[in-house]
Structure 1
């Protein structure tokens, strides 16, 4: 499986390549040779190629399953959302290997306009993000950029599920696994280990993270929840919603929780409180190796 370091090492190989050069033509040609082509569109040498470069790096590493391929940034954001890796928040401090997305038409946060540029986060130091981007500047070049954390032009980030990026095996909060029984503790708290068990049961990516959720301040949700201002949802929650027959937007809101509670036969209030009976039901199901919904 591909690591963030491998992606950055590959991206660095092409620093200095300019539009119109043999290196630029190679980037476009490799992208066009990969099938299926996004939108069935062959990139031209005269096209903007920032996202073509991002896709090219993933193609070279055989890692397109992490991000899919695209040559249009706004369309790529939709694909990132489908993978459950999109973070609709330009104010966060990113991690090396994250994919940074810009909207130049807005200079304030929150920035939710049309995405028009993209690159890789190489490092973050002292509040400054260093990136590697294709088609940067004039003439378009594979080059580094430095930009402050939270700059208004940052639309958000994709965080591919690289090798070594899974949730910590150390459980320091409720919702953990009983070491003696190798089972989930039935304590009514939804933490990373319950998420891992559910991800395995529903066949989604197993990383212990429920990504891109609005914070409804449910006390029964502990570690492994990614709360953002403008959520796009989680593959796990979407899978649960499909099983329940409700709208599968990937977001755990009151309506979805009520549907879960009705299915579980617990009180229906649209909340996951501390020591939640709903979560206890889910933990018992997971320990029995069956889907709760």
Structure 2
């Protein structure tokens, strides 16, 4: 599994809890999962009456067997300390987060100067679209819910960076690489003109860049070709 796939897996696990709330009692499953971590972080058993945002992030690691990557804590300040000790805490305003990164907030941020305040809340980056972040959080209005913010926006204290790469068992292929399971579909797409090469590989064959993520512009071009190829048939 690649680093990107691990990041996606962490976000997918978090999304399974969307809607879990104090009102319906399902948040207790998250608290219980956090309390199943061994050893219990700082020896403290989280109570149902405690704030549970950091515990939810930590529970993602517990659910996936990745507590060595998503470092467990139920306190935002102590979570920062854990990542800082490993060189995985960043406060650089120029940093562009990736999905799976952990975002810390300070609700007392005045918006003036560099925020050095005490962190109040935490979530996980679920999507990055241009300059907009979509974050999934536990204990957001007493529930697991989304929040949207601008990159480098007010209230962002910094980011804890789980070392997903250390857990990866494979590396992403080069742009021209492709897996065997997709061979039939790839050959068909090329034969009907649905895909065209983007330059050539060192051996002179077309570079279809099978492993690269498509842009929306490229996606709509493929759909346009598909429509015109088959609408007349």
Compute the TM-score of the two structures, normalised by the length of structure 1. Answer: 0.53
Is 2:74 the partner of 1:78?
no
Structure 1 match to 2:119: 115
Give the 4+ runs in structure 1 shifted more than 6 A.
Answer: 165-170
The whole-number CA distance in structure 2 between the counterparts of 1:90 and 1:29 is 35
The whole-number CA distance in structure 1 between the counterparts of 2:137 and 2:120 is 13
Equivalent pairs counted in the alignment come to 168
The whole-number CA distance in structure 1 between the counterparts of 2:158 and 2:169 is 19
Deviation by residue 1:4-43 (Cα, 9 ceiling, x = unmatched): 0110110010001101534211111111121111121111
Deviation by residue 1:90-149 (Cα, 9 ceiling, x = unmatched): 553211111000011113252111111101001111311000000002xx1100000111
With 41-50 and 90-99 compared, the bigger mean Cα shift is at 90-99
Structure 1 match to 2:97: 94
Deviation by residue 1:254-287 (Cα, 9 ceiling, x = unmatched): xxxxxxxxxxxxxxxxxxxxxxxxxxxxxxxxxx
Unaligned runs of at least 5 residues, structure 1: 171-293
Decide whether the 8 Å contact of 2:60 with 2:70 is kept in 1: no
Is 2:69 the partner of 1:66?
yes
Unaligned runs of at least 5 residues, structure 2: 175-233
- The change in CA–CA distance for 1:107 and 1:93 in structure 2 (over 3 A counts) is farther
> Larger relative contact order (C-alpha < 8 A, sep ≥ 6)?
2
Secondary structure in 1 aligned to 2:164?
coil
With 146-155 and 16-25 compared, the bigger mean Cα shift is at 16-25
Decide whether the 8 Å contact of 1:67 with 1:83 is kept in 2: no
